[in-house]
Structure 1
């Protein structure tokens, strides 16, 4: 088969000649893929863009009103599609980052609010304990003092301190579970 000019191929495509379309596709496909690759640095996406262009040309009859240089039209179309792809991809990445940031902030706020509620319930229920149990728990768990130091400060034995802690913690757990 003899090589046809772009104008002849265009005339054939306008008459819905699949052979003319196929010839145009084979003439420019590799060149256009290489051109798209320069923008995208991704061979598969470059091929997809060029293939989608040719599909659209055939299905939507993009050449019906084309006058002028077919090669320029194809290169300009690939150029624009690559820029659109890059812009859309950048927008998508930005949205994903924004979403992840939003989720982290939301989780932090929810965790912070939950923690505040637990601390308030703990504080309320701690205040309801008898004085020695409240003091024992505060010194050992909130102020991180050693058992011996707390026992000495309270004027009780270590075993008595352990008893106050055990009963006090059990009371706190029960009250917090009941959400009093």
Structure 2
């Protein structure tokens, strides 16, 4: 997966805003056409349909997940798990709405599970297959996810500039401690201290409200 710059990747409010006007309509029409094509391939060759689905949605799903979990590696693992589950459970047979919607909701749910595990020290119960296939995420779960995400963004935004920069370079751009040290011309120990402080702030702030 191709790396982007920190400025391109850093999540902000503009990323949460929907497209508008003619561009949004064109994007919607294109998505419908691709969905129809992928479904038609599944009807004749399931393996090819799965490969096409993976090639088309893997990168967008990783970009979606990394906005929430602040780790490219974790985001890729989450997306891979979603595709593996899709294949093992032959989800294409049961989904009556949209493959795209199913995949994005599955990734979103796994992100919530991961965030609650990492920062709140609790195990989140994932949505059942039936819930995901029917495409109805419980309202309270949607609210919880959005609130948790907004709190994480607020906490990261409030970190000291250098602390924030190091944290994002590590967790969001996937850079090693040594790469960050070389880039910023600081010691590896300083990088470790910045990461430790940022994670500590997140865990204290999020863990205080169970």
Scaled to the shorter chain, the TM-score interval is 0.3 to 0.5
State the structure with bigger RCO (CA 8 A, min sep 6), 1 or 2.
Answer: 2
What is the TM-score when the length of structure 2 is the normalising length?
0.39
Taking structure 1 as the reference length, what is the TM-score of the superposition?
0.45
Pick the structure with more helix per residue: 1
